[in-house]
Structure 1
């Protein structure tokens, strides 16, 4: 069975390798390109405020948010570890961001995230974990991305929902853009692969509704009634159905769960 992995290039490799090792014909077709922020000075200024202990917590909306935020860290002082002078906590919604923080040197005891066994990795699940911490006067920094089209992605929906909940609880919320997402250039042979995979029983893996929008922009005349998709969140499922995908299966974002969903098709 052919599986089309649509995650950004740097995130797709592990999925493709694991799927191929499990006997699938896996292909990487990145539908989102991730680049550093257009205004890196804003990130450096956010780090300076962190160094002055001006935030009680930092929420990272994705693994890319962690990676690009820490890429501009200039101070040698550690953060998100028990013995650090800076006592900010790190908030993340899922295992990818959690793992990125560990690679950056954070300690698990300083990270708040949904439990791994819940299967729900989004802003709603994170809020259930941290809402008792967010009291009047709480200072929260949200590290986010932006898009060339104005940030109408599922990432933005969840992030803004979380910000509204925190503000309603009395928190002071700041934002900083650490990276930008854009539609990549259609690779050579990409149009032929897309046309075939829309009708031959291939399974598309989507972890972002923005990826679906970019796919439609690439091939606006393509019909998707025969296409099959596995998605990692109900909002992405709604986007796939709206695009015309005939079969859409929702799955937990862990790769083992995704493979089980693929098998169920």
Structure 2
């Protein structure tokens, strides 16, 4: 389920860090925690890891900010934004019955987006629930934010981020989708054999800095491309509502229909 938020700048600040995704994710969690602690705890802690599984699956994703064409300050890694009205889409993998609940959480929220040096004050002026597409077993998508596929061995200090040209990319990408679905649903278990993935464009490596300015600062790398996915309809509905990627709650793996 997707929602379009209209954000209005409430002060004259215009500078926003280029790696703003971490701050968007932190703000969403803050809203959930303030409005419904049980819901936030569900997203944060349960995350539905399977037996022996240490990954935490989050049930939301979000788009890039839509602020037109900003001035780019490359050396300072900043966007200078002149638009007063900015768009953001957020999606939640929750039943339709939660529509009004979620709209109520975000409507009229006031928040600061950025670090201690640069950022912008916003107020949410409008929240719209967006219609879902007609889901079919075979669908084509365009990635708007990077699809992250990673792995670590016992000897790795940091994750290894795969490109679509790596032999393991498809296998690990499908494995993640199946685990994410099976560990967040009761009922029929879907096997990896029911999913077929085909990249239908060239790819571009891209990523975001997570927890910038802290000891935990890391750069997560993914890939942007267009692809076709053949899978049970519920898998397509899940990636529409919760992202296709690892780390979807940090803004990775947002897709649009192609």
| Relative contact order, higher structure (CA 8 A, sep 6+) | 2
Q: Specify which structure has the higher proportion of helix.
A: 1
TM over 0.5: no
Q: TM-score, normalised by structure 1?
A: 0.26
Larger radius of gyration: 1
